[in-house]
Structure 1
Amino acid sequence: MKRKLSNQFLRNFWVIFILTILDTVLAFVLLSFASRWIAGSLAKNQYPAKAIVKEDYRQIDASPVVQNGGGVQVVNKEYRVVYSKGLDTIGKNQLTAEEFTRFLTESQSKPYHYDILYQPEGEFWLIVTFPTSIRIDFSLIYNTEATAGDFKRASWAIGIVVLTYLLILALFAFIYSRITAASITVPLRKLCDGTRLLREGDYSVRVDLRLKNEFAELQNTFNDMAARIEHEISLRKKSEEDRRRLILDISHDLKNPMSSIQGYGELLIKKKGLTEQERDEYLKVILNNSKKANRLLTELFELSQMDSPKFSLKPVKTDICEYIRQICGELVPQLEREGFRYEFDILEESVFVLLDTDRFSRILQNLANNAMRYNPPGTQISVSLTVENNQVVIDFSDDGIGIPDHLVDNIFKPFVRVDDSRNSKTGGSGLGLSIAKKIAEAHGGDLTLCLNEQKGSTFRITIPSI
């Protein structure tokens, strides 16, 4: 890739090299035409010395020259300035032959244009002076009468200058092509290396080009893509681990009741002479374990239903305050029977939400079941309802044993229990909170665990009001 791009850039710059040479030649041609075009409009060419010279210098009319910013001087054969009008760059009335000669020879190096004409009849020099606007001194003169040696040496000098110019121009084009190619190929090589590593499974790869051009945008896009892929892979691995753990948990939770059912069933068949009391005890164990297995399978089915794209609610406009009061009223007999204290704080005014009443009641029922399952009798359970920023907030609290720190982040995952032993005393499936959270999310709200330093735990249900 690098060689192909570099060669492409080199070919492009050779084209630029040739175009530069053509442009240089064209520039000289245009300058020549421009010089001829401008020459006719300059004041120094409109009023040359030959246009105003007279045999008697006293008859010379210098007014046009003076009006255009110039000057006229007449120097006689004794090198005395006998006539001066306007701009005077000589600065003396009397010159020596040496000074006058120096003035004539150095006139081309001064920022003035001098047009000098000798008038033989009057024996004087007429000097017309104009300030120079811009002067570019370049001319190529060829005389066939020059000696062959001079012509050859001049030709060699010109050839060496042109060749040196072309070599320097070619060198600059080559160096610049390589630098420009490197500015493209180096970032591309880094991006290709990053893509290759990404393809080989290194999802932690990132590219740092340290640039602020379009490649920086490509770098950011690549890094965002790599980060997203890494995140997706991480989620996939986590999902796979959760699935594996879920299967193990289901197997474990079904194994105990099914083994118990099988064992007591075989005992009923094989053991003869059982008393009525023993038979009833065995059947009760079978019934309880079958209910436990059935409840687990039912909740698993319900949880899988909620993950299905076909899952939908049947919401109706409901006064949430009145609805929660009814749910709390239904919980009171159960709380009193289990020996739990309770406190309800529900708004008196009406607040309306879109609610699937059958599904939503499962949230409070599951929270209440967990509170009574894991806390000792005498624990107080509190339910409050407030409205904050168009959100109905329902807090379900207890002052019981609380949630262990190591379960806080995973409490809503399937088969996570406060009681890690999965004993028959608590009897929870570990799916209640997962189901409750999905129901809350399906209503456009959420179910969260509020962290606080107080005794017990608080679960917060939020749902948008209308």
Structure 2
Amino acid sequence: MKNKSDLNLFFRSFGIVVIVIFAAIAAGIGLFYYVFAIPAREGLSLASWPDVYTDNFSLQLEEEQGELKVKEFGIEDLDRYGLWLQVIDENGQEVFSHNKPENCPNSYTASELLAFGTNVYDNDNRVFAGNYEGAEKTYGYFIGFPYAVGKHMLYYNGEHVSRLSPVIRAGIACVSCAVFLFTLAYVFWLSRHLGKITKGIRDVSRRAYTPCSAGGVFGEVYAALSEMDTELRRSDQLRIDTERVRREWITNITHDVKTPLSPIKGYAELLAENQISESSEVQEYGKIILKNAVYTENLINDLKLTYQFEAGVIPLSLQEIHLVRYIRELVIDLINDPAFSKREIEFESAEDEVAVQIDSRLFRRAVGNLIINALTHNPPETKVFIRIERSGQGRVSILLRDNGTGMDEEEQAELFERYYRGTNTKEKPEGSGLGLAIAKQIVILHGGDITVKSKRNEGTEFRVSIPEGHSVK
């Protein structure tokens, strides 16, 4: 099957080359006629037609009783082609004329006769000369043609040219053979490369392409194939990684939803069967049910918010906020939370106050997610440092730094991806895996940016940068 495909490709290439050659020949013939042809009675003739016509015009002349006459057909022929005629005798005196230009003389000297037939007459006509031998006299005649016909005389050694004729014929035969062999070799070369390119494209689609380095005319094509193969493989790997993370997230979120549902269901059954007699136990079980219900609600809200971001339908209610006081109050609320009351959080600001335009509810969730992430996924003794400062160019930055376990470059690259959970979440798997992705989307929605720097066992630093003092729409 491969040999048949290669053979078909060879014949197609050969056909293309032959077509190109014939097209070049046709173009050459067309150019030849464009340069060396003029309109004539047949429609198109070589530029030598006026000379031939002038020689044959003697057939239209006749002598009767010593007087020259032009046949009626000859006069009609002159009128049909817009030609003029002048006949002179042996003394250079005009004996007949037809359609002759007004500035054409009636007699000629010997020198004028020599030059007359080789020059353009009146810039619009080329004059050709002929002879007619009558019974009694010899006449000369001039025919003016409305063509700018050029003529060049070539002199050569006839003896040498006759000797070279066999050599020229042999040379033409050799050149023809060389052209044919070159064409055949070129077709083989072209079909071989086209076959490699076709196979390369097929292998790229099958993800079985082997990169090859080649220079010359097709070097860029092979380089493009290699680049395409690399991009496709990278895209495939990204798709595989995304699908893997998605499956892991589905597994995690399923587990996370089931985890709070189990105590909710268990304690609800106890309450429904009226097996609890003490009111203190009822209150304790109710708190457990409420806690897990809130946890489940948060998971669902994270999912909803994520897909609202993806669909671009998040309502943004901007208002002017004093950022320093806003972040300080957020930190105080976290410290008052029993889950983080014993954690060390330090807050400072390089500015007394900075006004920004933000959605208070959404932005609180973004910054809160970053702080809670630092507290949740680091050891209890980890210290979290928060600082507000102007970063220039009309922007303000919120710096969040911790001295916790840190992350490697691979974790940092995927940190803001949806569904991603870092290695630090194995011991504390709470959360949907969407917190940091949501935080980044909220910051971007406010016209800001968020970056992360981290080293393993040295801690992590987040920098949130947003515009200062005006809204972003």
Equivalences for 1:262-281 in 2 at 5 Å? Answer: 262-270=265-273, 272=275, 274-281=277-284
Q: Counterpart in 1 of 2:103?
A: none
**Alignment length (residue pairs):** 337
Name the stretch that deviates more: 367-376 or 173-182: 367-376
Equivalences for 1:318-329 in 2 at 5 Å? Answer: 318=320, 322-329=322-329
**Structure 1 counterpart of 2:182, which letter?**
Y
**CA deviation after TM superposition for structure 1 residue 383, in Å:** 1.6
Structure 1 runs, 4 residues or longer, greater than 6 Å off? 14-21
Equivalences for 1:31-46 in 2 at 5 Å? Answer: none
1:411 to 401, 412, 415: 415
Larger radius of gyration: 1
What TM-score, normalized by structure 1, do the two folds share?
0.60
Q: Counterpart in 2 of 1:367?
A: 370
Equivalences for 1:16-415 in 2 at 5 Å? Answer: 138-140=157-159, 161-199=167-205, 201-202=206-207, 206=211, 208-212=213-217, 215-270=218-273, 272=275, 274-311=277-314, 313-315=316-318, 318=320, 322-335=322-335, 338-348=341-351, 355-375=358-378, 379-388=382-391, 390=393, 391-403=395-407, 407-413=411-417, 414=419
**CA deviation after TM superposition for structure 1 residue 366, in Å:** 1.5
3-state SS in 1 of match to 2:158: coil
Pair 1:7-2:25 in alignment: no
Name the stretch that deviates more: 391-400 or 240-249: 391-400
Q: Is the 8 A contact 1:10 1:178 kept in 2?
A: no
**Structure 1 counterpart of 2:454, which letter?**
L
**CA deviation after TM superposition for structure 1 residue 240, in Å:** 1.9
3-state SS in 1 of match to 2:243: helix
Taking a change above 3 Å as real, the CA distance of residues 269 and 360 of structure 1, as seen in their structure-2 partners, is closer
3-state SS in 2 of match to 1:451: strand
Q: Is the 8 A contact 1:17 1:169 kept in 2?
A: no
**Structure 2 counterpart of 1:8, which letter?**
I
1: CA distance between counterparts of 2:434 and 2:263? 22
2:460 to 444, 457, 462: 457
**Structure 1 counterpart of 2:329, which letter?**
G
Pair 1:434-2:437 in alignment: yes
1: CA distance between counterparts of 2:16 and 2:458? 74
Q: What are the superposed Cα offsets for residues 172-198 of structure 1, whole Å, 9 maximum, x if unpaired?
A: 111221343345433322221111122
Taking a change above 3 Å as real, the CA distance of residues 347 and 18 of structure 1, as seen in their structure-2 partners, is closer
Q: Is the 8 A contact 1:411 1:433 kept in 2?
A: yes
**Structure 1 counterpart of 2:13, which letter?**
L
3-state SS in 2 of match to 1:210: coil
1: CA distance between counterparts of 2:379 and 2:167? 104
3-state SS in 1 of match to 2:350: coil
Q: Is the 8 A contact 2:383 2:403 kept in 1?
A: yes
Q: Is the 8 A contact 1:14 1:173 kept in 2?
A: no
**Structure 2 counterpart of 1:244, which letter?**
R
**CA deviation after TM superposition for structure 1 residue 204, in Å:** 5.2
2: CA distance between counterparts of 1:311 and 1:204? 44
3-state SS in 2 of match to 1:458: strand
Taking a change above 3 Å as real, the CA distance of residues 175 and 387 of structure 1, as seen in their structure-2 partners, is farther
Q: What are the superposed Cα offsets for residues 69-116 of structure 1, whole Å, 9 maximum, x if unpaired?
A: xxxxxxxxxxxxxxxxxxxxxxxxxxxxxxxxxxxxxxxxxxxxxxxx
**CA deviation after TM superposition for structure 1 residue 386, in Å:** 3.0
Q: Is the 8 A contact 2:450 2:463 kept in 1?
A: yes
2: CA distance between counterparts of 1:401 and 1:351? 32
Taking a change above 3 Å as real, the CA distance of residues 406 and 207 of structure 1, as seen in their structure-2 partners, is closer
2: CA distance between counterparts of 1:165 and 1:17? 19
2: CA distance between counterparts of 1:447 and 1:198? 37
1: CA distance between counterparts of 2:299 and 2:313? 22
3-state SS in 1 of match to 2:416: coil
Q: Is the 8 A contact 1:10 1:174 kept in 2?
A: no
Taking a change above 3 Å as real, the CA distance of residues 341 and 245 of structure 1, as seen in their structure-2 partners, is closer
2: CA distance between counterparts of 1:178 and 1:353? 75
**Structure 2 counterpart of 1:396, which letter?**
L
Taking a change above 3 Å as real, the CA distance of residues 459 and 19 of structure 1, as seen in their structure-2 partners, is closer
Q: What are the superposed Cα offsets for residues 246-283 of structure 1, whole Å, 9 maximum, x if unpaired?
A: 21111111111112222222333446364333333333
**CA deviation after TM superposition for structure 1 residue 420, in Å:** 0.7
1: CA distance between counterparts of 2:164 and 2:410? 89
1: CA distance between counterparts of 2:12 and 2:377? 72
Quote the sequence identity (%). Answer: 25
Q: Counterpart in 1 of 2:107?
A: none
Q: What are the superposed Cα offsets for residues 162-221 of structure 1, whole Å, 9 maximum, x if unpaired?
A: 55223311111112213433454333222211111223x217554644225xx4454454
1: CA distance between counterparts of 2:164 and 2:452? 90
